[in-house]
């Protein structure tokens, strides 16, 4: 079934309710690799309720399933996550009751056999209180091109500086990391079931893209921000290749005043897995 552009652009969901506690905050931090050394006093506050700190990218999992994109009619077997953006208006609390308002903000037709780009936004607010953040997600619906939508105007990715990185940080992943991370919400068998992964063309389960996203945030917090996550007001990436649990993700970092640009690659395959990364800082 072809995409109905007008119907797609009208999709929204308002007032969906979610909640999370310190357990989910710590579980997420463990899932993206914090706390590997339980004696590391700088990382312990991310995984222990005493003086608990919240990783900003936790925002991507606390309202898992929000939105109405499931009513779009796209072929989900052919969908990949293209980009993820996060805008923070205040630091995430360690626990909260949330209200989520979601909408489709754009859809671009790449042509028959070339797929479609769909962009959604979700605002997360404390129930009865202030707006915390906006999540902007871009999906590439590979099987849904040719629906007659606009061809031009899709968002442009952030440009990486044309110079050598100011630093490079190795962020190891563990062979069982996808099994831990999936407990934060995304239970797609692609990340846990070897038979399913082989059936869709991978030699083994792959790491969640948003886990790689969080892993990059961990690398930046630990290496460039002196373990202060409250400095982050935005975190944007473009996904470019899968990571397998156990890979080492090398994050190349460029620092420019209130902006950090970054790119992530897997050492073992010399493959860029996240590109056009941008971390916006307050101040």
- pLDDT tens track for 58-69: 999 999 999 888
Return the pLDDT at 268.
83
Return the pLDDT at 4.
87
Average pLDDT score over the chain: 94
Higher pLDDT, 47 or 77: 47
- Verify whether residue 186 is a known catalytic residue: yes
Q: Which letter does DSSP use for residue 190 in this model?
A: G
Contact 218, 58 (CB under 8 A): no
Residue 167: count of CB within 10 angstroms of its CB:
14
| Dihedral angle, C-alpha 180, 182, 188, 193, nearest 10 ° | 10
- Given a cut of 70, is residue 1 above it in pLDDT? no
Question: Of 101, 123, 144, 191, which residue is the catalytic one?
Answer: 191
Model confidence band, residue 11 (pLDDT cutoffs 50, 70, 90): very high
Partners of residue 82 on adjacent β-strands: none
CATH topology of domain 167-281: Thiol Ester Dehydrase; Chain A (3.10.129)
Paired sense of beta strands 248-256 and 259-266, if any: antiparallel
Question: Of 109, 123, 144, 186, which residue is the catalytic one?
Answer: 186
pLDDT tens-digit map of 127-185: 989 999 999 999 998 888 888 889 888 889 999 999 999 999 999 999 999 999 999 99
Return the pLDDT at 96.
98
Model pTM? 0.95
């Amino acid at each position: 079934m072809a995409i109905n552009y007008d119907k797609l652009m009208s999709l929204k969901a308002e007032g969906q309710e979610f909640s999370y506690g310190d357990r989910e905050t710590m579980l997420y931090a463990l899932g993206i690799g914090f706390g590997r050394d339980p004696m590391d006093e700088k990382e312990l506050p991310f995984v222990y309720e005493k003086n608990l700190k919240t990783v900003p990218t936790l925002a991507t999992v606390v309202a898992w399933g929000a939105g109405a994109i499931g009513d779009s009619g796209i072929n989900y077997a052919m969908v990949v996550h293209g980009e993820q953006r996060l805008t923070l208006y205040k630091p995430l609390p360690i626990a909260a009751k949330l209200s989520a308002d979601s909408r489709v903000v754009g859809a671009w037709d790449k042509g028959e056999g070339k797929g479609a780009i769909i962009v959604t936004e979700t605002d997360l607010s404390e129930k009865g209180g202030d707006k915390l953040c906006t999540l902007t997600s871009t999906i590439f619906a590979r099987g849904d091109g040719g629906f007659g939508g606009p061809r031009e105007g899709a968002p442009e990715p952030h440009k990486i500086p044309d110079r050598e990185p100011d630093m490079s940080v190795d962020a190891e992943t563990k062979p069982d990391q996808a099994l831990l991370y999936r407990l934060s919400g995304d239970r797609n068998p692609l990340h846990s079931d070897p038979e399913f992964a082989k059936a869709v063309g991978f030699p083994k389960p792959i790491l969640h893209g948003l886990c790689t996203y969080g892993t990059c945030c961990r690398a930046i917090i630990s290496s460039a921000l002196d373990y202060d996550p409250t400095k982050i007001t935005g975190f944007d990436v473009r996904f470019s290749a899968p990571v397998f649990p156990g890979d080492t993700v090398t994050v190349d970092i460029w620092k420019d005043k209130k902006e950090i640009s970054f790119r992530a690659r897997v050492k073992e395959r010399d493959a860029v897995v996240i590109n056009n990364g941008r971390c916006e800082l307050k101040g």
